[in-house]
Amino acid sequence: MSNATALHHFDVRHNGFIGGVPSFGGLKRLQFLAFYDNPLGTGKSTDLDFMSSLLYSPATLLTLYLANCNFGGVLPRFIANFSSLEDFYIGENVISGTIPSDIHLLVNLQLLDLSENQLGGTIPSSWGNLQQLNGLFVNGNKLFGEIPISLGNLSLLSRLYLQFNELQGTIPISFEKLKYLLELDLSRNKLQGNFPKVILTSLVHLDLSHNHFTGPLPVEIGGFKNLVSLNLSNNMFLGKLPSTMGALSSLIELNIDHNIFHGFIPPSFSSLKSLEILDLSCNNLTGNIPKFLGKLQYLKRLNLSLNHLEGEIPTEGIFKHKTEVELVGNNLCGGTPQFGLPTCPRKGERKHLSHIQKLVILMSSGTLILLIIVALIVFIYKQKNNQPLTLDATTEFMPKVSYWSIQKATNEFSKSNIIGFGKFSTVYKGILDGSLGIVAIKVFKLQVRGASKSFLAECETLRQIRHRNLVKVLTTCCSIDHEGNDFFAIVYEYMINGSLDNWLHNHSKDTGENNDSKSLNLLQRVNIAIDVANALDYLHNQLEAGLVHCDLKPSNILLDGDLVAHVADFGLAKFLPTEVASSSIGIKGTIGYAAPEYGMGSDLSTFGDMYSYGILLLEIFTSRRLTSDIFNNGLTLHNYVRICMPEQVIEIVDPKLFHKEANATPRSLVLQNQIIECLVSIFKIGIACSMELPRDRMSIGDAVKELHSIKDTIVKLGDIRTIPR
């Protein structure tokens, strides 16, 4: 190809070419190069080496179309040398690293597409210099930080896609200068603040869904007169829906579900004549379903479920087709026979109570009387014993949550909201109304034998414990689901960094693929080990009756935004001395982490937790799963580490703790030896805690002291992110 010196346009899109890209050196007239949709790359760092050959034609090259080719590696900095480049498409690949800041030198760039890659870091503020940019697509990466204010300088920008990243902060006020912006997608980030009052009259598509926006919608929202699609779902917007939304007469799709809006559906919505999709579900809307919704002739899908609507269902238009309307979770009647609801009572007609309703009222009255009697008995008992009528020191007035609010918070228990699961429960991420915000909701599988007992045990345990390194419970829910079955859930503080298991083994719940960019450095691992040890010390030694966790493992260690560890899952926990006979308890914990004496019927003890902690400590610094193929024929993680101590320690430590150093200096060698000594000391603690005989195991108090000493040594060595090797 490099001999075709007169070539200026090369386009092989949508074929099946493989085997990499050859050199295009010598093509000094090349203007257009397109490989889109060919599996040319291997996903490795050498895939983009061919781009250096394009430096022979930097002054003529106008278009690079390299999307969806499985290219790996990082973006080369010399891209900035393609001074004439106008369109650069390299989305839908597996490119990693950060975005080269020198891209801002491509002053002729009109379209930049880096979407659907694995790029990290922040969006360069220097991109404000790309004055000719018309389209900017960096969606589907791992970008974090705030949206640069300088993007407001891109005065010709018409499409801006930043969705599916980890961006934080607010929408820059400088966006008011984007007078030609047609499409803005900021969905599925961590953005916050109120709805922007900046009115971009040019906008056709606006998506702010799945963020942390809050506050009411301003009346100025009616100024977005050209909007065809508006998606504000899965935020925390509140207040009443402004009547000015009726001015959005071009709207075809309106999604404002999963927020905290209340009040009536505004009559002005009757002006939304072009609507095809309307989703107002999972809010707190009240009143009747307006009849004008049945007169919107283009409406194809309507979702009003999980609100507080009442009264008669209209029978015109879309309401003739039950499959196109969702109304579950309201107090409705009437409608077409397809809905299967009772007819509505006529005005002035006395509503007769059914036998079931009478029974419910009678039972409710009996329950109330019973509660009053119990309260009186407790009062008299405490007065007799001169006990003050005060709440338990660990008890708080917890906010009440219902089954419906949890269903709404979890997007109807959507699989996409699942962040963890176990034998007895599934854990969802959700957004609850009010002050609770983003939470983790543990829903118990009551159809599994032992789940209800696990729920009661966890509630009883969490009621009596409180420590900075234990997961914080916010409230509980004992209710009935939509099918009339018992429903138990516990609501916890949400831990943004997930479980320790995901960090150690780089496993993404969403993709099932490894995520090597997610790694803990040495000091972070030591801090986590100390956090867990502090929690165990509290449970074992600082409570009036010692508490045994019984299931300590990486998936039950959760990390907050500062990577502080919190011990979770107290479904198997028992206070000592336990009242349950050892023979009836069964396996106490998870195989591999459970103490060996438990398998022989021994009683619960704090020594059992110490065994689990020792194995956990060894796993934190080796990143070896207990299910690894290496552990067979009787070889355990404990024995594996013990055999390699101390001469081969560097061979068993997690490789991500090291970095290669081409030319070792005397200081780096000294530093390496000091770090290895620290690692040897850590492994000795792990071995001592996980000895086979309970009496031989180290106590948690001694483990805490030794780990603090090791941490002090590491801190004195300076900023150690990885260890020179």
Would residue 263 count as lying in a domain?
Answer: no
Same domain, 709 and 684: yes
Detail the DSSP E strand segments found in 516-617: 547-548, 557-559, 565-567, 574-575
Where does a domain end: 440, 469, 494? 494
Would residue 163 count as lying in a domain?
Answer: no
Same domain, 584 and 440: no
Say whether 537 is catalytic.
Answer: no
Domain containing 458 equals 397-494
Cα separation of 194 and 192, whole Å?
7
Same domain, 523 and 472: no
Divide the 725 residues of the chain into consecutive groups of 10 and give the mean pLDDT of each group: 87 93 85 93 91 76 94 90 91 93 90 95 92 95 94 94 94 92 94 83 93 91 92 91 93 93 94 94 91 93 91 92 87 87 71 48 50 49 40 46 88 88 87 79 90 84 85 86 86 90 70 54 94 94 87 92 90 71 51 84 87 94 84 82 86 78 62 87 94 91 94 78 53
Same domain, 689 and 572: yes
Looking at residue 512, what is its pLDDT?
39
Would residue 637 count as lying in a domain?
Answer: yes
144 forms beta bridges with 166
Same domain, 419 and 529: no
Secondary element (H or E) of residue 640: helix 637-644
Same domain, 471 and 523: no
Looking at residue 3, what is its pLDDT?
86
Where does a domain end: 494, 528, 552? 494
Same domain, 632 and 558: yes
Same domain, 567 and 651: yes
Total-model pTM: 0.54
Would residue 41 count as lying in a domain?
Answer: no
Would residue 542 count as lying in a domain?
Answer: yes
Cα separation of 478 and 496, whole Å?
26
Please answer whether residues 607 and 640 qualify as being in contact, where contact means their C-beta atoms are separated by less than 8 angstroms: no
Polymer length of the chain: 725
Same domain, 564 and 686: yes
Same domain, 570 and 687: yes
What backbone torsions phi and psi does residue 642 show, to the nearest 5 degrees? -60, -40
Out of 47, 185, 551, 609, the active site residue is 551
DSSP per-residue codes, 177-227: G-TT--EEE--SSEEEESPP----TT-SEEE--SSEEEEEPPGGGGG-TT-
Cα separation of 527 and 506, whole Å?
19
3-state DSSP of 452-512: HHHHHHHHHHHHHCCCCCECCEEEEEEEECCCCCEEEEEEEECCCCCEHHHHHHCECCCCC
Where does a domain end: 494, 511, 538? 494
Would residue 607 count as lying in a domain?
Answer: yes
**What CATH code is carried by the domain that includes residue 440?**
3.30.200.20
Same domain, 516 and 416: no
**What CATH code is carried by the domain that includes residue 623?**
1.10.510.10
**N-to-C CA span, the chain:** 43
185 forms beta bridges with 161, 207
Would residue 21 count as lying in a domain?
Answer: no
Same domain, 707 and 565: yes
81: helix, strand or coil:
helix
Looking at residue 347, what is its pLDDT?
61
Would residue 177 count as lying in a domain?
Answer: no
DSSP per-residue codes, 30-64: --EEE--S-----SSTTTTGGGGGGGGSTTT--EE
Total of domains in the chain: 2
Bond from prior residue into 342 cis (ω within 30 degrees of 0): no
Handedness of CA 37, 38, 40, 43 (dihedral sign): positive
Please answer whether residues 61 and 33 qualify as being in contact, where contact means their C-beta atoms are separated by less than 8 angstroms: yes
